[in-house]
Chains A and B, each alone.
Chain A
């Protein structure tokens, strides 16, 4: 079945790196996503990675994918107080089948950045 797991809380100091982890169970996942939710707002797509990639970098964000262990991580370099938000990992379990276009989300990780 489809299951995406994240730890609920992460607290870091401003300027440090943050690493948010996610595990998934569906081996047929083709795309994996990171969304950010700021307080009182909807979700915003941060980045995504195709399953045939190991790493993707986009400015301060680095996504690492370990397909063998079904583990996805999001690293935020030089974390700022404005990065405080909830971060969701999500997958499309089977992009060409019955899950067409439907996202399965993890529980979300609440990132708190201290000055």
Chain B
């Protein structure tokens, strides 16, 4: 069955380290999104991509980067992890940008920055 996976599911790192969170989808979806979830803020968009080699900044992109070298993967990199980046990170994908095209979410990665 087609799916969207994230790895690792849990990660503890130290301030200043570079961290990469993986997202992989097997639906061949064009669009992929990264969100962070924090209590009281809901989900906020970090970066998104509409296709291979396309990347765009979202609402809270500072300190994060993404690259899209193929359709299936959109890794999220924290260049120099900060305690403020402790959060739960969700990846999502959708077939098109049409409003009725559902975004499918991965199970999430819980990141703790000490």
Interface residues of A (CB under 8 A from B): 4, 6, 8, 30-31, 40-45, 48, 88, 92, 95, 100-108
* B105 lies within 8 A of A105 (CB): no
Residues of B within 8 A of A107 (CB): 40-42
Residues of B participating in the A interface, judged by any CB pair closer than 8 Å: 31, 33, 35, 40-45, 48, 50, 58, 90, 92, 94, 96-103, 105-108
Q: Do the beta carbons of B42 and A106 come within 8 Å of each other?
A: yes
Closest B residue by C-beta to A48: B100
Residues of chain B with a CB closer than 8 A to A105's CB: 35, 42-44
State whether B42 touches A4 (Cβ < 8 A): yes
For the complex, what is the distance from the CA of A104 to the CA of B31, rounded to whole Å? 16
CA distance A102 to B58 in the complex (A): 9
A17 to B40, CA, bound (A): 25
Contact A45:B99 (CB < 8 A) given known A106-B42, A107-B41 = no
Chain A residues near B100 (CB-CB < 8 A): 31, 48
**Complex contacts, A45 vs chain B, CB 8 Å:** 102-103
Beta-carbon nearest neighbor of A6 in chain B: B42
Q: Are A102 and B48 in contact (CB under 8 A)?
A: yes
Contact at A31–B103, with CB atoms within 8 Å?
A: no
Residues of A within 8 A of B94 (CB): 101
Check if B108 sits within 8 Å of A41, measured CB to CB.
yes
Q: Do B105 and A43 have beta carbons less than 8 Å apart?
A: yes
Q: Can you report 22 A-B residue pairs in the complex whose CB atoms are below 8 A from each other?
A: A6-B42, A31-B100, A41-B108, A42-B90, A42-B92, A42-B105, A42-B106, A42-B108, A43-B92, A48-B99, A88-B42, A101-B31, A101-B50, A101-B96, A101-B101, A102-B45, A102-B48, A103-B33, A103-B43, A104-B45, A105-B43, A107-B42
The distance in angstroms between the C-alpha atoms of A92 and B25, with both chains bound, is 23
The answer on a CB contact under 8 Å between A101 and B98 is: yes
Q: A99 vs B108: C-alpha distance in the bound complex, in angstroms?
A: 23
Q: Tell me how far the C-beta of A91 lies from the nearest C-beta in chain B, rounded to whole angstroms.
A: 10
Most A CB atoms within 10 A — which of B35, B42, B58? B42
Contacts of B43 in A (CB 8 A): 43, 88, 103, 105
Given contacts A4-B42, A107-B42, contact A101 B97 (CB under 8 A): yes
